[in-house]
Structure 1
Amino acid sequence: MVDVCELSVLLRKLGFCVISLVDLTQEEMLTAVNQFLQLLDIGMYGLFYYAGHGYERSGRNYMVPIDAPQPYRPENCISVQKILQKMQERRTSLNVVLLDTCRKWYNSDCAVSVVTPLKPLGNTVYGYATSENAEAYEVQDEEFSSGIFMTYLKKHILKEKKVTNMLEDVLEDIGRDPLVIGKQVMEIRHSLKECRALTDRICTSASQRLHSTVWDHQSKIPKQMVKFSCGVEVELRFKMVFSNLIHTFAKLTHTPAQLTDIKIILYKPSDMANQSKACKRDPVDSLVALEDDGEEADCMLRLYSLQTCQNDIIIKVDLHFTSFDGVRMQESLEHVMPKPWIAKLFNRSGPLCLGRRHRAEAPESMPTMETQLTTDFLDTQPGAHPINSGQMPLSSQSKSSSEPEENDENDITYVMKNALEYKKLP
């Protein structure tokens, strides 16, 4: 989780407008990808990054949603090749797909997705964290974990280099890492016909700069002050870790001298009880749980799955304290957060246009074709595994029909992360 957050920060430094999402169902993945596609425009740079559970089948790569039944089948997963095909239909100037996921061959008896070949337009780049039929690894370092691919991608992504040359630097660093020698080798495929870099300058008009300002504003929630009748003042700050995950911090800013043993607790009402967590600092999330200025909060509430919100979010702030006469007392207030922008994006039916183009790009009209990603609905082929949502694959199954393997060596683990990123550049 931490390294994906850091990647989002780096992409914003490069001028990307970033949507980052975690823990999505298949329906939510499809919605997110389709909204991403609608945001792309003629002359833009589109970057799609995925870190999480995945597999490969006959040259097709599949992202596995959190609700996919086992054994995995194409109709329950998301085809990466279809995403790239739809990105190309938006007539972007550069399409980059980065896959930080396993590519173990899986479920060979199952029919593959029907994907038409890409048009010979060029300027498409694939960056695979690992090679065919191999795993992608993470290093566990006490409280934190970091993917091998992400570790070196963060090191090079800000360099002013042709995107393929930048990825080659990542490949070479991974190849020298003693932890994964003989286990993980990055792979690059591309049809880059022009010298394109992620650091290319953005050419914008005044209206486009305004759209960019509006976009940046969406990722920032202003701090709020909560005042209790006893005189205690609490500042609420909000940090968007992912587009659908917010950390809410509560910090005591004023406490009357006659009150002691003051404690703040943040709660979420029952409608999001399963999507939030009130806590003190969680060691596993200690890096992302810090406020932007590095100051520790007195309490933190973690709000998940914001894309599912139908209304404003009401946060309950409980204050417990001991009065001057030794009586333990409690006060409660409610703070209303407007409906998250990501929920509005998921609920919208039309495109959201925030265009940025190269000056060299003359066309001003969008493609007329409908750009929508859908799931694969395939008939069960002879010998294919039926969908089984209630059972895990048996351990005695062959590698071709079992869940992609995870490495159990010391210091190297495999975890799931979901994130969607995109950039709008020249």
Structure 2
Amino acid sequence: MDMASLWNKTLSDLPTDLFLRLRDYLDVSYSHNQGWRAIVANLNGRYVLSSTEDFERRESPTTALLTKLRSLGMTIQEFVQCAIRADDFVIMELFDVHTPVTIVHNPLSEISAVEGETVEISIEAKGFPPPQYQWYKDNMKLEMATENVLRIYNFNIKDEGEYKCAAYNDEDILKHIFSTSCKVYVEPVQPVPPLEIKEHPRPCFVFTGGTAVFKCEVWSSAQLSYQWYKDEQKLQDGLCVQGSSTEELRIKTNEMDSLQWEGNYFCQISLLHPCINYPYEYVFTQAAALKVQPKPNPSVQSNKFTYNATDKVALLIGCYDYRSDRLLSAPGYDVQTLSSIFQSMNFKVVSLLNLTKSELLAAVDEFSKLVWKGVYCVFYFCGHGYEVSNQCFLVPVDAPFMYQHPECVAANSIFDCLLKRDPQICCMILDICRKPYIGQPPEVPLSQQTYEKGNAIVCYGTSHGLAAYESKNYGILVKHLKNIVGQPLDIESVFRKLREAINEDPMLNNNGSKQAYKQIPEVRTNLLEPKRSFTDPIDIKGNTEIYHDKTTIWELAHRKPDSFYFDVKFDNFIVKVKLDFQQEFSNVLKIYTSILDPGPTQSCVAYVSGVPADVAEKAKVRTISTGLDNRLKKNFVVIHNIQRLK
């Protein structure tokens, strides 16, 4: 039968045998996307029907439907076009329809995979007869690769290359449609151990009857087991021990035998379920000492003054990603380490990385709003710096090549800004070089200084004319300061012990070593109450309202988005996704993307994209865990400089 001759005729001219075949096929309809109901759902224009109840009551709904459409003057061509919209291949075959192939979804432009994984490259095309497929690698035809999904099992370096697929429903090669190319490359399994300690437990000092807390954290996507030890003796949970097999250990000291808990504590972390990608592995944390001090005797201490703060705040800034100067490696670690320690002492911490000059000044201005009478205030900067005319200058990350002081920030200007707020203690710690910078004028204008009230102390990481050094992971200053600053010592003693510790470092100031560096910290202080300590408690009595106002300001600036769930809807299925957020620094946000339900897909990945250019260069997507035979993936991306997001 010549179907083309029927095209412009109405449904009343439909041949009897064709009508009967349509009726028998379309009468089987259990849903809106099947049978006669699918035809009704895809009617358009003047053929749209408001109700189907009349058809449902008939012995043959199809006969009633075709009669109705025939009365409206529908042509056979219009009916077939409706069937095409419904993707009804049976009707399309009955009427010998041919629609050219179009590609609906191209493969990903780039895929990386670890050796040994299964790689999937997919394409989706439409047309009738249904499309056929042929995959190519580097323009060479792949035998037996004739499905819309190409699976490469046990992927290795020989499988690297450029893949594309031809989709067609006509033997004429000129009518074959090619997909875009997908570059596939190997991401080798890194030879580094899968367990890496992110945070070691820290020394702890408690009074008799107090509770000591030790914590550790490990970089790993695998499930882990923990076991804490005291002086090589395995700990078990009991009356005084809690969390011996978790990442947080709590030791409750009692009045009778508190000294028995003094000692060195460390944790062994191992894989809960060793697997092929993670051979059996375990690591030990560094040991942290617990010191138990007797409670002060009220009768003895009655004449001694107890110090309190109305609040405690710290601004910690690290710059390492310089545009026109040598990149540094330690500031991120140093800021993270000090942030954790100051938080443990109940400081409100603002931690920032890689600030431009305008951002640095704005950060100080905003931070100063947290400072008021009676507050303990700490400012820390780690990055490039120099000294000229007895003034230290901090170098922001956007400083140009051969920068001079107008492109930098005078440390005195920051200190003065904070001193004007009348804090009880104002401490500035500068981990910078104090050598003159090449090209600087011999003298610079002196910044005006605020009248000091005996509340200031400055710790320089090194002395005038000397450099400040770093190793691969930490700066020399923080290497020693982290072991001291959290102790219940008066502030001047903290920095005295710091100088002593650096003096004992065999890599520093050792004339007998060819590898020794010269770094001598310097401390300037005019504290009239030198016995005050960073560990002093906060007492808000009489200042409750202003304390809560400042707390609200700080909390609003550090409020991270709540976790949320959403569905990604496709034509025939739904993928369920979850987003989680973790704030590593005040201006750095880590976004976790988890696939909760991949639907019928063989492999499903979700990640954050569309990040603005000035933070996107730091936004590398990393897969940290998989599940359900690699169908569920959890990725994260780190967004830096979130203050630049509008």
Distance 2:489 2:615 in 1: 46
Distance in 1, matches of 2:362 and 2:635, equals: 33
Higher strand share: 2
Q: Deviations over 1:178-202 (max 9, x none)?
A: 1223411211111111022111111
In the alignment, is residue 197 of structure 1 matched against residue 533 of structure 2?
Answer: yes
Name the SS of the counterpart of 1:83 in structure 2. Answer: helix
For the structure 1 residues 273 and 109, does the alpha-carbon distance in structure 2 shift closer, same or farther, using more than 3 Å as the test?
Answer: closer
> Partners of 1:196 and 1:25 in 2: how far apart?
34
Q: 3-state DSSP class of the match of 1:146? A: coil
Q: Does the Cα contact within 8 Å between 2:615 and 2:639 map onto a contact in 1?
A: no
Query: Per-residue deviation at 1:54?
Result: 0.4
- Matched with 1:69 is 400
2:623, 2:468 → 1: CA distance? 30
Aligned to 1:243: 586
Aligned with 2:460 (options 103, 123, 128):
128
Using a 3 Å threshold, how does the CA distance of structure 1 residues 121 and 273 change in structure 2: closer, same or farther? Answer: closer
Q: Distance in 2 between matches of 1:138 and 1:109?
A: 27
CA 1:82–1:215 in structure 2 vs 1: closer, same or farther (change >3 Å)? closer
Deviation at 1:5, TM superposition (A): 1.3
Flag the 1:138–1:270 CA change in 2: closer, same or farther, 3 A: closer
Counterpart in 2 of 1:286? Answer: none
Report the counterpart of residue 115 of structure 1 in structure 2.
447
TM-superposed deviation, 1:235? 2.2
Q: 1:170 aligns with which of 471, 476, 498?
A: 498
Q: TM-score, normalised by structure 2?
A: 0.43
- Structure 1 pair 82–214 and aligned structure 2 pair: CA distance change class (3 A): closer
The AA in structure 2 aligned to 1:252 is I
C-alpha distance in 2 between matches for 1:134 and 1:265: 46
Asked if the contact 2:345/2:486 (under 8 Å) is kept, the reply is yes
In structure 2, what is the Cα distance between the partners aligned to 1:269 and 1:123? 44
Query: Which residue in the other structure is 1:252 paired with?
Result: 595
- CA shift, 1:275, in A, is 5.7
Give distance in 2, aligned partners of 1:280 and 1:170: 38
Q: Which residue of 2 aligns with 1:24?
A: 355
- Root mean square deviation of aligned Cα: 2.4
Deviation string for 1:222-255 (max 9, x for gaps)?
A: 2222333334332211111221111111123334
Contact 2:412 2:449 survives alignment (8 Å): no
Question: Following TM superposition, by how much is the alpha carbon of 1:47 offset from its aligned partner in structure 2, in angstroms?
Answer: 0.8
Distance 1:71 1:110, change over 3 A: farther
How far off is 1:272 after superposition? 5.5
Question: Out of 171, 179, 186, which is 2:521 matched to?
Answer: 186
Report the 3-state secondary structure (helix = DSSP H, G, I; strand = E; otherwise coil) of the residue aligned with 2:486. coil
- What is the TM-score when the length of structure 1 is the normalising length? 0.63
User: Which residue number in structure 2 is paired with residue 263 of structure 1?
Assistant: 605
Once residues 133 and 202 of structure 1 are traced to their aligned partners in structure 2, the CA distance between those partners, rounded to angstroms, is 39
SS at 2:636's partner residue?
strand
Bigger mean CA offset, 66-75 vs 187-196: 66-75
CA distance in 1, matches of 2:623, 2:389: 45
Rounded to whole Å, the distance in 2 between the matches of 1:138 and 1:149 is: 8
1:149 to 474, 477, 494: 477
Distance 1:131 1:247, change over 3 A: same
User: Percent identical across equivalent pairs?
Assistant: 27
Question: CA offsets per residue over residues 90-140 of structure 1, 9 Å max, x none?
Answer: 111110000111111234534313223452411211111111111111112
Contact 2:389–2:443 (CA under 8 A) maintained in structure 1? no
**Structure 1: gaps of 5 or more residues:** 283-296, 311-426
Matched letter for residue 406 of structure 2 = E
Cα shift at 1:33? 1.5
The whole-number CA distance in structure 2 between the counterparts of 1:32 and 1:206 is 25
Counterpart amino acid of 1:135? A
**1:56 Cα shift?**
0.7
Q: Is the 8 A contact 1:73 1:110 kept in 2?
A: no
Instruction: State the alpha-carbon separation in 1 of the partners of residues 639 and 611 from structure 2.
Output: 11
* 1:146 Cα deviation from its structure 2 partner: 0.7
Matched, 1:212 2:551: yes
Which residue of the other structure, out of 287, 296, 306, is the alignment partner of 2:642? 306
Please report how far the alpha carbon of residue 34 of structure 1 lies from its aligned counterpart in structure 2 after TM superposition: 1.6
Structure 1: how far apart are the matches of 2:519 and 2:614?
40
Superposed CA deviations along residues 53-93 of structure 1, whole A, max 9, x for unmatched, are 10011210000112222323221111111221222211111
Q: Distance in 2 between matches of 1:66 and 1:214?
A: 27
Give, as a single letter, the amino acid of the residue that structure 2 aligns with 1:241: E
Preserved contact between residue 240 and residue 246 of structure 1 (Cα < 8 Å): yes
> Which residue in 2 is equivalent to 1:79?
410
Contact kept, 8 Å, 1:266 with 1:278, in 2: the verdict is no
Q: For residues 270 and 88 of structure 1, what CA distance do their matches in structure 2 show?
A: 37
Instruction: State whether residues 125 and 189 of structure 1, in contact with CA within 8 Å, keep that contact through their aligned partners in structure 2.
Output: yes
Query: How far is the alpha carbon of 1:309 from its aligned partner?
Result: 2.4
Counterpart position of 1:332 = none
Q: Quickly say closer, same or farther: Cα 1:81–1:211, change in 2 above 3 A.
A: closer
Does the aligned pair in 1 maintain the 2:377–2:427 contact within 8 Å?
yes
Cα pair distance change 1:218/1:32, threshold 3 Å = closer
* SS at 1:121 equivalent: coil
Q: 1:130 to 1:301 in 2, by over 3 A?
A: same
Report the residue type matching 2:404 in the other structure. Answer: R
Q: Distance in 2 between matches of 1:272 and 1:55?
A: 27
In the superposition, relative to structure 1, how do residues 270 and 309 fare at CA in structure 2: closer, same or farther (>3 Å)? closer
Among 550, 555, 563, the residue aligned to 1:223: 563
CA distance in 2, matches of 1:81, 1:57: 12
Aligned residue-pair number = 292
Instruction: Please give the alpha-carbon distance, in whole angstroms, between the structure 2 residues aligned to 1:60 and 1:18.
Output: 26
SS class of match (2:352): coil
Query: Structure 2: which 5+ residue stretches go unaligned?
Result: 1-331, 511-517, 625-632
Match for residue 139 of structure 1 among 471, 490, 497: 471
- Cα 1:227–1:276 change in 2 (3 A) is farther
CA distance in 2: counterparts of 1:241 and 1:124, whole angstroms = 30
**Alpha-carbon distance, 1:161 to partner:** 0.9
Distance in 2 of aligned mates of 1:120 and 1:272: 40
Q: Does 1:38 align with 2:369?
A: yes
In 1, Cα distance between the equivalents of 2:346 and 2:615? Answer: 36
Q: SS of the residue aligned with 1:102?
A: coil
Q: Is the 8 A contact 2:364 2:414 kept in 1?
A: yes
**Aligned residue among 268, 277, 284 for 2:619:** 277
Is residue 382–residue 430 contact of structure 2 (8 Å, CA) maintained in 1?
Answer: yes
> Superposed, which structure 2 residues align to 1:231-380 within 5 Å?
231-256=574-599, 258-270=600-612, 274=616, 276-280=618-622, 298-310=634-646
Q: Secondary structure at the match of 1:238?
A: strand
Shift of 1:158: 1.2
Residue pair 2:370, 2:550 contacting (<8 A) in 1 also: no
* Offset of residue 163 of structure 1: 0.9
Measure, in 1, the Cα distance between the counterparts of 2:590 and 2:583. 6
